[in-house]
Structures are given as structure tokens and as C-alpha cells.
């Protein structure tokens, strides 16, 4: 069982199940949404994901057609997302986890959007897009 929460602690969640497609995404929307050089996220089965508290404090934003990002209204933490193409999954924002995963990312995606002032220094595979 994994747990997570937003910065202010209003929104909390848990999930129990397989973590799939753990990537570091360098796309422009992830960089803007997280205000950092990339966003780390993974897919989890929607039936294994549960909001424990603060559901009324979650706001949403459609960042691109079919992709909804969910944020805490109080502190702005981007907690998770949903996408039409992965309808049975939640895209979990791994920075919101309370503990370790015990696994490593499988690669970097949307590297074509990476800013020129950042250099990827690990040995993970890099994809120019998805």
C-alpha cells in the first residue's frame, strides 16, 4: 500500500497495485504544471486508487484535449491526472508520494521539449516524444 498527499495535507490518497510506465516527462505542459524541469509520473489502476481526504478541495484543469489534471485548491500540488487514452488508469504524480516506491523510472519522455539549460545525466532511455 502506498500513500500520498498534497503539500498542505488537505488531499490524501492511497493505492495498492502495480505501478506501470514510470517515466520522467519533459513535455512543456508537465514542466509548467510542476514548475520544474520534468514531472515524474506513473500509471496505476483506477480501481486501486482512492482519495482518502480533501476530495472537495480538488480542482481540475484540462491541459490538453482529453487530459485532466487534478490539483489541491489550497496549496496547488498537482496530485494526479486522467487521460482519455488510458481511461482505466490514474496518472499518479510521484512527487506527491509520502514514501519510496522501491522501483526506478524506465526512461525519459518528450525529451524534444527539454530546456537547453538542463542536461540529462543518467543512463535511462530517452524518447523525443511519447
**3-state per-residue secondary structure call for 65-106:** CCEEEEEECCCCCEEEEEEHHHCCEEEEEHHHECCCCCCCCC
What is the C-alpha separation between 71 and 118, in angstroms, rounded?
A: 26
Q: What is the pLDDT at residue 86?
A: 78
Sheet holding 67-72, edge to edge: 58-64, 67-72, 78-83, 89-93, 39-45, 20-25, 107-109
Q: What is the pLDDT at residue 105?
A: 95
Which residue segments constitute the domains of the chain, with CATH numbers given? 2-113 (2.170.150.70)
Q: What is the pLDDT at residue 27?
A: 92
Contact assessment for residue 6 and residue 52, using Cβ atoms and an 8 Å cutoff: no
Q: What is the pLDDT at residue 84?
A: 87
Q: What is the pLDDT at residue 17?
A: 86
∠ CA 102-106-108, nearest 5°, is 125
CA 55 to the chain's CA centroid:
17
How many residues are recorded in the chain? Answer: 130
**pTM: predicted TM-score of the whole model, two decimal places:** 0.87
pLDDT tens per residue across all 130 residues of the chain: 999 999 999 999 999 988 999 999 999 999 998 899 999 999 999 999 999 999 999 999 999 899 999 999 999 999 999 998 877 899 999 999 999 888 999 999 999 999 999 999 999 999 999 8
Amino acid at each position: 500500500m502506498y500513500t500520498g498527499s498534497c503539500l498542505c495535507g488537505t488531499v490524501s490518497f492511497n493505492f495498492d497495485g502495480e505501478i506501470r510506465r514510470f517515466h520522467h516527462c519533459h513535455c512543456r505542459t508537465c514542466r509548467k504544471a510542476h514548475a520544474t524541469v520534468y514531472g515524474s509520473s506513473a500509471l496505476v489502476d483506477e480501481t486501486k486508487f482512492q482519495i482518502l481526504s480533501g476530495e472537495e478541495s480538488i480542482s481540475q484543469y484540462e491541459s490538453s484535449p482529453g487530459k485532466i489534471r487534478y490539483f489541491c485548491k489550497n496549496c496547488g500540488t498537482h496530485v494526479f491526472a486522467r487521460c482519455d487514452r488510458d481511461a482505466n488508469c490514474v496518472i499518479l504524480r510521484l512527487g506527491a508520494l509520502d514514501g519510496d516506491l522501491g522501483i526506478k523510472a524506465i526512461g525519459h519522455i518528450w525529451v524534444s521539449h527539454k530546456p537547453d539549460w538542463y542536461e540529462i545525466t543518467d543512463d535511462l532511455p530517452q524518447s523525443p516524444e511519447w
